[in-house]
Structure 1
Amino acid sequence: MKSLLTLIISLLISIIVKSQTTDGYSISGNILDSVTNKPINFATVILKNEKNVQLKSVLTNKEGFFNLDKLANGTFQLLIINVGSQNKKASVVINNSSKNFGNLFLVTSPTQLKGVTISAERPLIKQEIDRITYDLKADPESKVNSVLEMMRKVPMLSVDGDDNIQLQGNSNYKILINGRPSGMMERNPKDILKSMPASSIERIEVITTPPAKYDGEGLSGIINIITFKKLDNGTNGTINVNHRFPVGGPGMGGSFTLKSGKFGMASNFGGNLNSTPLLNNSNTRFTTGINPTNLFQTGVRDSEGKSGYIGTELSFEIDSLNLISAQINYNASDNESFNAQNSLLSNNNAIIQRYELNNNLTGSGNGIDAAINYQLGFKKDKNQLLTFSYRYYDFTNNQFNNVNIINPIAYNLTDYQQFNSGGSKEQTLQVDYTLPIKKLIIEAGAKAIFRDNNSNFEVQSLNQDGNYIIDALRTNIFDNTQNVYGIYNTYQFNLKQWGIKAGLRAEQTAINANFYGANEQFTSNALNFIPSISINRKFKNNTSINFGASSRIQRPGINQLNPFVDRSNPNFETTGNPDLKPMSGNSVEMSFSSFKKLQLNVGLRGMFFKDIIMPRIVTDEITNITRSSYGNNGTATMVGLNVNANYPFSSKLRASLNLTANYGRVSGEVNGTLIETKGLMKRAFGSLTYKPSKTWQATGSVNYNGRNFTLQGSTNAFVTSSLSINKDFLANKLSISLAANNAFNKYRNVINSINGPSFTQESFNQNYQRNFTTSINYRFGKLKEAIKKNKKGINNSDVSSGAAI
């Protein structure tokens, strides 16, 4: 594999050497008003080749001067555009010398435009060959909601009562920002998306058949969040300030874009404070066997925290063929919680064990990632590209529990403290090459990821002298390295109404794990071939049919591998499993789209998985402790239907509907017992928007999440609702919004039922559901020339965040 990577890189470097020649010719001139003879600043000058392909564009300075440099010999077309003037065209031939036009005069347009009114509605949904896109800018609720709340409206996405995102009923996916991985989405995506205002986002793409250029992991697909569109010279930005009460808290966020000549910058940022009052929770467990027991636990908990993020993309256009871009993202969070609990374990109405527990938890974490990309273009075709990329990523999570035992009966453990510091470091090297040949686009590339996961966990128990001492049996250092080497090749062909994209990716994974305290070591190597194909057929009247098939894999993440044992509840222990191996799956899907007055998208999908990473829960009859870990438990099959519809009853009233139904079957072995679970999982979201005028709008919505299940259990269904009112000011630059969420239900009761060998268990958690939100959103600035971005970059879509079907 390493020799193959070396060969590919050598071939690509030879292409650079052969293709790079520098011609230093230029085209310049001065743009003047034909009546006043005064210079015109900020006029747009566009240079095109003989095939009418745009090569360069610049703005005139305050003296009306423009200069297009570093040009090769050839015949070109010059187009000059200025608001209020007639466009001007000129032909120019470069033959071993530069060209200066001198003064060029623009004639005032006979009809002055006072303003432009767009009467057509922007479509909310767009279907492409391998993805479906939801346009947040076309949805006014984006001015008051967070990105997480808006995801309930996106086709194939759903959000459960614990704010966990699912893609077609599955939680194995990857979230990208602008097509690239971001530390914000890899460490703590749920909290970041809660604090990210939807007004700073352009659109959300759901890629269910990722092409081979993406890493092979992410069984369900990829969620790609686009934070800004291609923007122009000048500055542009949004600021959003909001407050959610009586739970939640204040928050703010926004975006800023700058384009000045060859330099471009785009940033998004945000943060919030949140707090939750005391809420009730309970656990009930019944065991069978020789000595059946009943466990009852009741408690209360509260929490508060804060989180923030900032991300920036930079670009510098050296010339028309050479582009350097970079990204840097940072996020951090802190949280505190308190949990008081009473626990009673009995047998035939006799007390076996009893205690009261107070648990104070503090946690913190931060993540940073940075990348740099060099993109090389070719003179014969601007779409022929060679890109070199490097990315560094680092995150840490720290957790501290201080557990106090009060009034124990037949319970011999003393007060204890547990620490866990875990994190991951990652370096990625990648090279991509794109070669267009008429209607065929060929892509190829190679990639190497060097990932180091680590965990340092420690337990200290209170001794008779009142001091905390280290418990050596429950203390260890864990280190896990994953080296992934991949190559890919894709082909995209467009012919009239047909579009086809197919490819193959090969990935080799080398894993090495060490337990320093236990002196244990684990190694694993695997080679995977990952094919994919997408077909799109367009018809008249804006309708199309899509077909896709792909194979995917999913490597376990640090939270699933980490052997740290969380004993914050002494009767329930949770831990990771460092022996996990990747799971794999195949999917086949077909969808129909129609974008007429009724915007409709209907999709069918079948998914087939093996070696699924799912929680494995067993109860020890001797210690009466329930232990939860992860395992490659078995296989699963799921067939799903997704329907998304948007319909305008009139220019003032619009309705939208998002329906998902998945029938799943999962089977596996737990503690020597074969378990099979099957059932129908349903999601529904509906909204009605009324716009009585250009500046007023009201939206009401209802969201239904049906029962969700895993191998050993299920979660109950729930309903949420929302009503929002929005008012625009200052030509739609300023928006003030009010929202009432779940006004009719103060709490949501989350009930998780679990069945295992010789036990049944039910946990109850009360979540505060009712809240009211105020939001102020302001847009500022004006942009005039598009920011250049490299078309290729690193996409590490290969790590699992959890598993459920």
Structure 2
Amino acid sequence: MKKLFTLIIILLITTAVKAQLGGGTTGVVGKISGIVIDSITRKPLDYATVSIYRSGGRAPLNGVLTDEKGSFKLNEVKNGKWKIVVSFIGYPNKTIDPVVTTPEKPDFNMGTVFIAPSGKALKAVQITGQSNVIETKIDKLVYNAEKEIINSGNATDVLQKVPMVSVDINGNVSLRGDQNVKILINGKPSGAMSNNVADVLKAIPADQIKSVEVITSPSAKYDAEGSAGILNIITKKSNMSGVSASVSGGIGTRQNNGNLNFNINQNRLSITANFGGNFTWPQTSLITQRTYIDTSNVNSGSDATSKIGRYSGRGSGSVSYDFNNFNSFTSSIAVMKFGFTNDGTSSNFYTSPNVNQNYLGLSNGKTTSSNFDWNNDYVHKFKKEGHQIDIAGQWSHGTTDYNSLSLYSIVAQPDLQSYNKGSNNEYTLQADYTLPVNDKFKLEAGGKTIIRRIESEFDNYDGVSNNINTDNPNNFVYNARTSNNYNYGQNVYAGYVVGTFTLPKNYALQLGSRLENTQINGDPQNTTVSLQPFTQNYNTYIPTVAFTKTIKDQTLKLTFTKRIQRPSLQYLNPFVNTTSRQSYSQGNPQLSPEVTKLVEFTYTTFIKSSMINASVYYKNTNNLIESISQGNVDYNVILNTTPLTYLHNTLTTYRNIGTNNSWGASFFGSINPIKILTVRGNINAYTYKPDPTGSFTADQSQNGTYIQYNAFLMGSVSLTNGFQAESILILNSPRRTIQGPGQSFNLWIIGVKKQFMDKKASIGINSYDPFTENKTFNTDIASSHLVQSSHVVFPFRSFGLTFSYSFGKVSFADPNDPTQKKKKGVNNDDLKETESNNRN
């Protein structure tokens, strides 16, 4: 691997030297920049389109979108006379012709470009922001959460409204039906995600989220992990000059949250801080479970209640400083703590030819987790625009403590007390190099190392007597055979090269190659349980291709990418978890990573104030990982322990069951049928038809081709006097495995908000499923000898009150004005965005 990195460094140096000695263009190129401002409100217009033509020409040569400050910059402009056209929904086009660049003055700063709304469209301008909730870019779709009317709760609630994303009742996230999603925060992985993604997302307040980036076909510069793609959650930070702050929150019948943002941006120094948290009122669910094993004629099940309460807190801060025009440094830290409690009662039964038992159960559990992510980023920019080196390092540390107590009314079912302590450390070092060789070719290359270390301590204590009817439930003895201490290590070494070609007639081609080496080792520490250490070492080559064509407001894109999904410790740990004496679980250290190949064709167009994004895709997944439940498992054989009453139970483990070929299509649209109304809708449908191999054909009970889907329909209304209303309907089909369908999930959200104090403050009310008190979720599993069902009734109806207030003094400065030493806007994300000037 050292040789690989040495080779990459040599290639980088050689390429850079060649570019400097003659690989670039011989002519002088420059840039055209400026700021687009509404002439009436004097506010910047973000996401306005700025196109460049030859002076007097009719066909656009290139184009960019303005940022949140209204700023734009057209790079790689040769000397000559040009025509600049600025267009924005509800405004007439603004044309400036000619704009002249010369060898003596290759950079042209247009200053402030004022455009005035037309008289007929003046009122419509106030609602066009709603159409910017969704953006499409060359390599991603962006959901701007901060522009939503309803933006309360936590990250799970936000993700439910993101196109192509679905979230089930347990908080598990899927992208186009695939749960193998790589979730990043501000472009970087978080160590907290290695414990429980669903719980981490519930701990992030919605008020902290600025946007969510959806990347279904990542290029080679992205990490290869996550067969479904990447979701990048961007938290709020200010890029304006001055001091600003905001406070927001919500109080409701289901959950409560609060959030505080503080920003200082002065000259070259930028300081941001954020504090937030949420608390969920305890919710009681009704759970019915049934299991039948035909080979031993065993029936078992329970009718239970489960009461869960959650809390979380998150704080973050960053300091950025530009030493000069070429060197910048940013240090940031995010700290998170969350936890939940679970108290339950159950009425249980177990019947077989020799046993007929009915008994009661009491249980309680408590989980607490804490985590921090510390990032340091250094950027060095060369004199040539876009030529730079990025060096980033991250340390993530997290701990999780879990303890539970289960008491039963009969001695034949032993009481159990469990303690699980885990710690996770993740170290990342990354270097990226970008070189625009000329106006037709850009080279990107880099390397990355990720080192993960996980320690898990799992201790079980058996009750020596029946405790449910006693006042002393602490009479427990340590059981070494059902306990486990485990160390797990994973190292990933990666290197990539990406070339982007700007071709004639608005074509563009991007080719990428990435090589990743994965080294895994598992080391059991408990000698009582006869578990063997294991190691894995494999290489994965990731080729990517993206081909685009732009025709005015239309973009066509054809992509090919390859992705992998590495199994986590939960999937690999061979220890048998017997916390539930009738249903065990066990990892599989022989698992291979899933490998997915994806071909996708996407079409995007803008028609006045409407937008359409449609795609069709084909996915081939090898080494498909699914959980397999088997019946008639002997507890005594597994643990080699004293015989117990219950001999025939179920065991759930993970297997590479075979392959799956899936065809899919997704559609997203946004329209403004009338001035005050915006309607957005998304539907994604795909096929599921796995081809299991070997012994797994006996576990398959689903033999047909199944169509699965997720969809939402959203309507928002902006009225006079600052009133806004929104309604969202979310639909998700059951997620299938070869053993049966899982839970479906549907949701209806409505809300009303009133803005006042020149939109600096707002107050609103919202409701989740206002006319349905409880929601029902069913799961059915079947194999050749096993039938299982789960029926959960969960309270979901809720009402809430939200508020927000922003204060402080900020100003919008011209970033191209040399008299103002404004922060240069260094991009510190691992995931670098494709530059706007390469869209064509």
The TM-score range, normalised by the shorter chain, is 0.7 to 0.9
| Contact 2:205–2:278 (Cα < 8 Å) also in 1 | no
Equivalent residue, structure 1, for 2:286: 280
1: CA distance, partners of 2:379 / 2:16: 11
2: CA distance, partners of 1:157 / 1:617: 27
2: CA distance, partners of 1:189 / 1:787: 34
When residues 190 and 238 of structure 1 are mapped into structure 2, their CA distance, relative to the original with a 3 A threshold, is farther
Equivalent residue, structure 1, for 2:336: 331
1: CA distance, partners of 2:711 / 2:748: 12
Equivalent residue, structure 2, for 1:544: 555
Task: Map 1:163-562 onto structure 2 (within 5 A).
Answer: 163-228=171-236, 231-245=239-253, 247-248=254-255, 250-289=256-295, 291-347=296-352, 351-379=355-383, 381-408=384-411, 411=412, 413-437=413-437, 438-463=439-464, 467-495=475-503, 497-517=506-526, 518=530, 520-540=532-552, 542-562=553-573
| Structure 1 residue 509 displacement after superposition | 1.2
Equivalent residue, structure 2, for 1:653: 677
| Structure 1 residue 672 displacement after superposition | 7.3
| Structure 1 residue 756 displacement after superposition | 2.2
One-letter code of the match for 2:827? Answer: K
| Contact 2:172–2:197 (Cα < 8 Å) also in 1 | no
Equivalent residue, structure 1, for 2:644: none
| Structure 1 residue 162 displacement after superposition | 2.7
3-state DSSP class of the match of 2:156?
Answer: helix
Q: CA RMSD in A?
A: 3.0
| Contact 1:331–1:367 (Cα < 8 Å) also in 2 | yes
Equivalent residue, structure 2, for 1:629: 653
3-state DSSP class of the match of 2:588?
Answer: coil
| Structure 1 residue 436 displacement after superposition | 0.5
When residues 162 and 462 of structure 1 are mapped into structure 2, their CA distance, relative to the original with a 3 A threshold, is closer
When residues 189 and 244 of structure 1 are mapped into structure 2, their CA distance, relative to the original with a 3 A threshold, is farther
Aligned length: 697
| Structure 1 residue 553 displacement after superposition | 0.8
Task: Map 1:40-51 onto structure 2 (within 5 A).
Answer: none
One-letter code of the match for 2:162? Answer: V
- Scaled by the length of structure 2, what TM-score is found? 0.78
Residue number among 764, 767, 784 corresponding to 1:740 in the alignment: 767
When residues 469 and 305 of structure 1 are mapped into structure 2, their CA distance, relative to the original with a 3 A threshold, is same
| Contact 1:209–1:549 (Cα < 8 Å) also in 2 | yes
2: CA distance, partners of 1:11 / 1:314: 34
Q: Deviations over 1:158-181 (max 9, x none)?
A: 122333221000111111222222
| Structure 1 residue 258 displacement after superposition | 1.9
| Structure 1 residue 192 displacement after superposition | 4.3
Q: Deviations over 1:127-162 (max 9, x none)?
A: 2222111223443223x4544223233221112233
Residue number among 608, 614, 623 corresponding to 1:611 in the alignment: 623
Equivalent residue, structure 2, for 1:594: 605
When residues 184 and 513 of structure 1 are mapped into structure 2, their CA distance, relative to the original with a 3 A threshold, is closer
3-state DSSP class of the match of 1:520?
Answer: coil
- Scaled by the length of structure 1, what TM-score is found? 0.81
3-state DSSP class of the match of 2:150?
Answer: helix
Residue number among 750, 756, 759 corresponding to 2:777 in the alignment: 750
1: CA distance, partners of 2:493 / 2:142: 30
**Structure 1: 5+ residue runs without aligned partners?**
21-90, 95-105, 797-805
3-state DSSP class of the match of 2:387?
Answer: strand
3-state DSSP class of the match of 1:424?
Answer: strand
Q: Deviations over 1:706-743 (max 9, x none)?
A: 22212222124343212100100111110111011101
| Structure 1 residue 236 displacement after superposition | 2.8
Residue number among 569, 583, 599 corresponding to 2:594 in the alignment: 583
| Structure 1 residue 564 displacement after superposition | 5.2
1: CA distance, partners of 2:541 / 2:701: 29
One-letter code of the match for 2:458? Answer: F
3-state DSSP class of the match of 2:759?
Answer: coil
| Structure 1 residue 676 displacement after superposition | 6.3
- Alignment of 1:772 with 2:799, yes or no, is yes
2: CA distance, partners of 1:328 / 1:615: 36
- Alignment of 1:715 with 2:723, yes or no, is no
One-letter code of the match for 1:768? Answer: P
1: CA distance, partners of 2:314 / 2:18: 43
- Alignment of 1:121 with 2:128, yes or no, is yes
2: CA distance, partners of 1:739 / 1:520: 54
| Contact 1:691–1:698 (Cα < 8 Å) also in 2 | yes
Q: Deviations over 1:297-336 (max 9, x none)?
A: 1111101121111223321111111111122111111211
When residues 625 and 214 of structure 1 are mapped into structure 2, their CA distance, relative to the original with a 3 A threshold, is same
2: CA distance, partners of 1:341 / 1:670: 35
2: CA distance, partners of 1:730 / 1:469: 64
2: CA distance, partners of 1:396 / 1:670: 39
When residues 608 and 537 of structure 1 are mapped into structure 2, their CA distance, relative to the original with a 3 A threshold, is same
| Contact 1:432–1:792 (Cα < 8 Å) also in 2 | no
Residue number among 806, 827, 833 corresponding to 1:791 in the alignment: 827
2: CA distance, partners of 1:546 / 1:694: 42
| Structure 1 residue 402 displacement after superposition | 1.0
3-state DSSP class of the match of 1:673?
Answer: helix
One-letter code of the match for 1:368? Answer: F
Equivalent residue, structure 1, for 2:163: 155
Q: Deviations over 1:455-492 (max 9, x none)?
A: 11111112369742221111222112111111100011
Equivalent residue, structure 1, for 2:758: 731
**Structure 2: 5+ residue runs without aligned partners?**
21-100, 105-110, 117-121, 467-473, 635-646, 814-821, 833-840
| Contact 1:183–1:331 (Cα < 8 Å) also in 2 | no
| Contact 1:243–1:775 (Cα < 8 Å) also in 2 | yes
One-letter code of the match for 1:362? Answer: K
One-letter code of the match for 1:255? Answer: N
Equivalent residue, structure 1, for 2:578: 567
1: CA distance, partners of 2:392 / 2:218: 20
One-letter code of the match for 2:541? Answer: F
3-state DSSP class of the match of 1:732?
Answer: coil
Equivalent residue, structure 2, for 1:45: none
| Contact 1:218–1:552 (Cα < 8 Å) also in 2 | yes
When residues 17 and 566 of structure 1 are mapped into structure 2, their CA distance, relative to the original with a 3 A threshold, is same
2: CA distance, partners of 1:502 / 1:312: 37
Q: Percent identity?
A: 26
Q: Deviations over 1:511-559 (max 9, x none)?
A: 121112236221111111001112221112x221121110111112233
| Contact 2:578–2:585 (Cα < 8 Å) also in 1 | yes
| Contact 1:315–1:788 (Cα < 8 Å) also in 2 | no
1: CA distance, partners of 2:162 / 2:407: 45
2: CA distance, partners of 1:461 / 1:358: 15
| Structure 1 residue 185 displacement after superposition | 4.5
| Structure 1 residue 691 displacement after superposition | 2.1
